[in-house]
Amino acid sequence: MAPNPFILAADDPQALLDLLKENPSLAAGQDDHGYSLVHAAASYNHLDLLRTLIRDYKVPVDIRDEDGDTALFVVETVEAAKVLVEELGSNPNIRDDEGLTARETIENDGDWPKVAEYLASLPGGELEGVFANGASGVSELPAAPQGLNVTVGQIDEAEVGEQPDPEIRRRIEELAARPDFQSEEGQAALRELVREIVGDEGLSEERNVRSRQD
């Protein structure tokens, strides 16, 4: 009987690597629930296996299971999370089918607080908290780009009347997830996006004023 690659991924990663040399197509396999060898390697902290699956066998680092969870949702150590994000390029801002990021899922479960703390420290981690919790849940924001002054206050949702533009939210999330977010180039892109958003709002107000005057 052929060995089960998922059991090997948990108990004997070297045996799985030997098996993959004989049958490379197994590397991207998923079980009936979408659980992959990448999920297993990350969950059991088999980091050499994890690196090999991504780098040598080209399995997508953010392969998802049936719930939309990537491997980052199932890590149990900061070390594994760092390998996924910093070495292999996993996107920590991906949301599952329930609309939660890996950080939010791990925080809700309460089992691996150090992992959640690490994910919250990543560029974009605090921005994700702003959108997830609303203005009243903001405790700390990333530093504003040079030359841009930002004032944070409480917002009455009844006064706002609508949620932020989904397209603006998507663009901010993508920008915050960039590996060069804190670099001069990343901050320049943030300033340009802020100017664009503020400019659009100004044009909208001007159009509204004109329409009332007509």
For residue 36, the cross-strand partners are 30
pLDDT of 162-204, one tens digit each? Answer: 455 677 777 777 777 776 776 777 777 877 877 777 665 444 4
Task: Give pLDDT, residue 153.
Answer: 42
Question: pTM for the complete prediction?
Answer: 0.59
Dihedral-angle region of residue 124 (phi above 0 means left; psi in -120 to 50 means alpha; beta otherwise): left
Residue ranges of the chain with per-residue pLDDT less than 50: 126-145, 148-162, 201-214
Q: Measure Cα distances from 60 to 9, 109, 119, 181, 184 in Å.
A: 17, 26, 20, 23, 29
Domains located in the chain, CATH noted: 1-92 (1.25.40.20)
Task: Give pLDDT, residue 125.
Answer: 61
Task: Count Cβ atoms below 10 Å from residue 87 Cβ, excluding itself.
Answer: 14
Task: Give pLDDT, residue 64.
Answer: 97
Task: Give pLDDT, residue 5.
Answer: 95
Task: Give pLDDT, residue 151.
Answer: 44
Task: Give pLDDT, residue 85.
Answer: 97
**Which H/E stretch holds residue 132?**
helix 125-133
